Structure 1
């Protein structure tokens, strides 16, 4: 419990006490530099400059949680912190490394460039050389370093997730191969062994009915009884070979989608459901596949787009069931990766294809991700096996 509380109040610093201490040191560095420049005394410093120093210190401490707000605050405070080195540069680096090449980064750059206007206005004439040096060192360099860090972090995340997806799909293909082999063995045993045992049992019945003496009838009954026991045990073996996985729960249907969304909402997810009440009445295999598509979509949205709004839509026109799971871009700035939770994309396609349906996945125009599955509701389409 204490560990969870500690992580909770450290969430602004990536759950790490070391990150908090590092940010305190970074925030204190400009203040220490200003003290050093004034010989350890701030008596000749204006109250506005002191207030700006304090504001800058507090803002830099929470720069990881509010990168854009901190950049804007530091831009405003820099007009009173002339000669203070490090504060604005750290703020620009943070917003660039956290947000990447987006509007928030460009707005932060604009705010810092505007903050340079009062300083240039106080100059005796226009000096392009010093101005260029200031812009490059205090704006361009921190932003370029931040964008490089953002790009490198995103590439590493993509590589890691792709490797995990490949490994999951490899395991899935191996499991499918084993399952296909098990079913082939079950079919052969049913077609050959079960048939032969059945023939033996029927012959034993005939022998028992036409036995000429009591001993022959008794032996025939033993053969028949043994054959029946063997057939029962064989059926159990075939059931174990065919149904190695646990059966689908009764809730794994369109009727369980509402509970699935409710559970996600109760866990803190921002999910909305658009589905008629009562839930559409569909064939069991279609209901299970639709349920799993929604489950996989919610799982991937929670993993790759945390805190993003998710819309689940389930509609039926009598001939076709359409299931759509759409999530927006994560407000934390993480790219939405391809769905990779559970069976992954391959498993999702397998489930939909088994019902004769179609699956479409891809990014949306706003940077989110969309999973759209359609299922035919005619019995002749859904019983292709």
Structure 2
């Protein structure tokens, strides 16, 4: 099935869902509340029909009044006072007090302690309790029981429900505010830590690299032979490049919006030649093979390819000095393969490492949706990274 066909089939169902949500707006979008109100209305109608007086002088109005007052309960969450007036008027047709009591409860639950709740209680009192008092001798006990059951009970139950809903709303708001505060504090802590790292990198790393660049520059001036001068100039150029990249990293850590020159996309692949030239200038033996033309890759993939090759060349210089290194880029099957291999040597350069080189490479590759393999293959060490040529994930 084509995407267009799926869209045509899904469209009406999504529209039906939206219409259903709008239709349930009176019940907070919850079908369970609608089912509860339907059950309440049905129970009120059934109770009123079962409790009707067979000798009712107005039987023609009894059944419509019972059904009308019962169905009106479906709107008690939206217009509870109107439902109360309908239920009070239906008493004239010998409808039971149940719809009126439910309507009074709904007014108190929606409005809380308010003038409208007081008016609703007064209407209920005038249409139920007072007429009973004038029909016979006054009995204080019966009047108190009727007042408590018909008026006071529903009002207190509605006020309790109103206070409960208000309390839940306050607690929900406080929980959301606490979550926002935790998020803000976490962001502030992350930002403060990034600033601290930036300060440490500037004060320690930048200082050391600057010292290397200055000493290499002085050595190139004072060199007594051409070979030493070239080596010193290479060290100075590499140190200067490292300072520029370090400056870019510091800007990122400090969340500065200043534009920074970054290697990305095809430009990052093209810059591999400059990277290899820098390494070869230090005396290493590196062979670079790339497809022509270079593939068009996403920025994230281009940066990851550059860093994988850079880290692999650094590791080869540390652990297998003076060994020939082969860097090969190849495309096929919708992906870009980057392979860096070098022969294993019995002795290393003795340069300390951070221990996170391979970890960092694997994280960069996996963020692009690719995969990384690193390890011994016979008498060689191989780093193989596979990158998708589509959009970075």
The alignment's TM-score, normalised by the length of structure 2, stands at 0.54
What's the counterpart of residue 156 of structure 1? 168
Unaligned runs of 5+ in 2: 1-13, 260-393
What's the counterpart of residue 233 of structure 1? 245
Q: 2:41 aligns with which of 27, 38, 54?
A: 27
What's the counterpart of residue 126 of structure 2? 114
State how many pairs are aligned. 244
Q: Distance in 2 between matches of 1:26 and 1:241?
A: 61
Deviation track 1:306-364 (CA, whole Å, cap 9, x = no partner) reads xxxxxxxxxxxxxxxxxxxxxxxxxxxxxxxxxxxxxxxxxxxxxxxxxxxxxxxxxxx
Question: How far apart are 1:188 and its partner, in Å?
Answer: 1.8
Q: Distance in 2 between matches of 1:43 and 1:117?
A: 20
Deviation track 1:196-238 (CA, whole Å, cap 9, x = no partner) reads 3223323333433444432232122101111012112212322
> Given the superposition, is the C-alpha separation of residues 244 and 53 from structure 1 closer, same or farther in structure 2, using an over 3 Å criterion?
farther
Q: Distance in 2 between matches of 1:235 and 1:193?
A: 11
Q: 1:166 aligns with which of 154, 174, 178?
A: 178
Q: 1:53 aligns with which of 55, 66, 82?
A: 66
Deviation track 1:273-295 (CA, whole Å, cap 9, x = no partner) reads xxxxxxxxxxxxxxxxxxxxxxx
Of stretches 137-146 and 97-106 in structure 1, the one that deviates more from structure 2 is 97-106
Question: How far apart are 1:144 and its partner, in Å?
Answer: 0.6
Unaligned runs of 5+ in 1: 248-385
Local SS of the residue matching 2:58: coil
For the aligned residue pairs, the C-alpha RMSD in angstroms reads 3.0
What's the counterpart of residue 220 of structure 1? 232
8 Å CA contact 2:52, 2:95 repeated in 1: no
What's the counterpart of residue 76 of structure 1? 89
What's the counterpart of residue 177 of structure 1? 189
Question: How far apart are 1:44 and its partner, in Å?
Answer: 4.6
8 Å CA contact 2:41, 2:73 repeated in 1: yes
Deviation track 1:351-380 (CA, whole Å, cap 9, x = no partner) reads xxxxxxxxxxxxxxxxxxxxxxxxxxxxxx
Q: Distance in 2 between matches of 1:225 and 1:95?
A: 81
Local SS of the residue matching 1:15: coil
Question: How far apart are 1:83 and its partner, in Å?
Answer: 6.0
Higher relative contact order (CA 8 A, sep 6+): 1
Q: How does 1:316-355 map to 2 (within 5 A)?
A: none
> Given the superposition, is the C-alpha separation of residues 238 and 164 from structure 1 closer, same or farther in structure 2, using an over 3 Å criterion?
same
Specify the structure having the higher radius of gyration (Cα). 2
